[in-house]
Chains A and B, each alone.
Chain A
């Protein structure tokens, strides 16, 4: 039932219902950008939300609300200009980054061949990152104490025999032990990542470095 690298339906429902955090919503929306079948599922889920909204018992709205709206729309500017997406990134991410390109971001070195940009920090230590790893790099073996979503934007990596390439998403949680992603040789691998709690790195060197690299 589980399809490799594709987010399960319960996440589509949570996205549609508005239950996801900013970081998870961005990862799911960007993931859906790569897969038309997921976009259709999302529309189905949002249609369900809309029908549920419509079937709510109507409540009274204040008698002056419509007039208030009319007086406000008279003062509105005519056109809301949408910026164009010109940096080649999937739309949700491009918009989230205010249409900056990846090169324009403030990348921080984390170690040999590894750099990161932190995009958002939310409640419960939730963090949204862009990670960039050189082709062939090995990410230190680690455990998770929370949920981690990794969406590949460019390049690819392996975990065991599973390969993750552009548009594919890996979900790791408490059950995931000895997580040792291996970046495939070739171009840099760039991923959009959400972590919920600091990961636990096994090696002594890794543990010593962890506070400095911020993972």
Chain B
């Protein structure tokens, strides 16, 4: 019912704008549950942190961006910081260094939350990019130029998203299944790429394979993963 109302507002045209709040609901069309909208109106969400379990990570980032909401930020921290640190520890850095970098990634999220557009990217992809680049910047001491400033394709709109929490759990299941569906050889080159940041020639040296074989395995693994995760955007 409520969803239909929001849809109707959207369909009625983007010009409908009753102050910033209404525009916000329209901007995040389909992402925003009615209770979240109401809570935003009242500003009361600060008082009920337990309510956050109903919201997707993307919705929480919007709360951080709009309201500088520290409870929402804490919720994101609890989920992402232990995983970002776990990812960084793959690169054989000290626990302290991984802590420092994780902290910087989360501070970047706080600072740049308003640059994040849930229509164009998932927050975990955005954080992955920040974590990867921080590691390269601080440990390898190189720059890692990006295609666009904040999110990659300005003109591309992701399909409308519904039931975010369920979808996130399904996505996690899907990457595990997609990885499991690769053969051992393909999984190996993907893991050496993403978890060790090895180049093609480093992978060739590590696995004693010809360079051409490494490249074709990465290509085939990527193709298989893309097919498996196809409509996942």
Q: What residues of chain A have their CB less than 8 Å away from a CB belonging to chain B?
A: 8-10, 12-14, 16-22, 25-26, 29-30, 32-33, 36, 39-62, 65-66, 68-70, 72-73, 76, 80, 82, 91-93, 95-96, 122
Cβ-neighbour of A46 out of B74, B112, B125, B214 (below 8 A): B125
Interfacial chain A residues near B90, Cβ < 8 Å: 56
Q: Please give, as numbers and ranges, the residues of chain A lying within 8 Å of B145 by CB-CB distance.
A: 22, 25-26, 29-30, 92-93, 95-96
| B194 interface residue per 8 A CB criterion | yes
Q: Give complex CA distance A18, B202 in Å.
A: 13
Is the contact region of chain A dominated by helix, strand, or loop, or is it mixed?
helix
Whether B129 is near chain A, meaning CB under 8 Å from some CB there, is yes
Among B86, B87, B175, B219, which residue has its beta carbon within 8 angstroms of that of A10?
Answer: B219
> Residues of B with Cβ closer than 8 Å to A?
70, 74, 77, 81-87, 89-90, 99, 102-103, 106-107, 110-112, 121-122, 124-125, 127-129, 131-133, 135-136, 142-149, 152-153, 156, 171-172, 174-176, 179, 190, 193-195, 197-200, 202, 214-216, 218-219, 221-223, 225-226, 229, 232-233
- A72 nearest CB neighbor, chain B only: B107
Contacts of A26 in B (CB 8 A): 143, 145
| Interface contact B175-A42, CB-CB below 8 Å | no
A43 with B107, Cβ < 8 A, contacts A52-B194, A53-B87 known: no
By the criterion CB–CB under 8 Å, are A22 and B193 in contact?
Answer: no
Contact B128 A61 (CB under 8 A): no
B193 and A19 contact, CB distance less than 8 A: yes
Residues from chain B with Cβ under 8 Å of A41 in the complex: 226
How far does the alpha carbon of A90 sit from the alpha carbon of B12 in the complex, in Å?
A: 38
Which single member of A16, A58, A73 contacts B107 (CB below 8 Å)?
A: A73
Closest chain B residue, CB of each to CB of A96: B145
The 8 Å CB contact of A48, one of B106, B175, B197, is B175
B197 engages A43 (CB within 8 Å): no
CA gap between A53 and B82 in the complex, in Å: 10
| B125 in contact with A80 (CB, 8 Å) | no
Q: In the complex, are the beta carbons of A44 and B194 less than 8 A apart?
A: no
Contacts of B219 in A (CB 8 A): 8-10
A40 touches B89 (CB 8 A): no
Cβ A14 vs Cβ B124 within 8 A = no
Closest 3 CB pairs of A and B: A58-B82, A51-B175, A50-B128
Given contacts A49-B132, A50-B122, A55-B172, contact A39 B87 (CB under 8 A): no
**Which B residues lie within 8 Å of A70 (CB)?**
70
B52 to chain A, nearest CB (A): 15
- A residues near B193, Cβ cutoff 8 Å: 13-14, 17, 19
Bound form: Cα–Cα A43–B200 in Å: 20
Taking a contact as CB atoms closer than 8 A, the residue among B147, B156, B197, B229 that contacts A17 in the complex is B197
Of the candidates B83, B122, B133, the one whose C-beta lies within 8 Å of that of A47 is: B122
Residues of B close to A91: CB separation below 8 A: 147-149
A22 to chain B, nearest CB (A): 4
Measured CB to CB, the closest approach of chain B to A136, in angstroms, equals: 32
Structural contact, B153 and A12, CB atoms closer than 8 A? no
Closest to A147 in B: B201
**Which among B83, B85, B128, B175 has the highest number of chain A CB atoms within 10 Å?**
B128
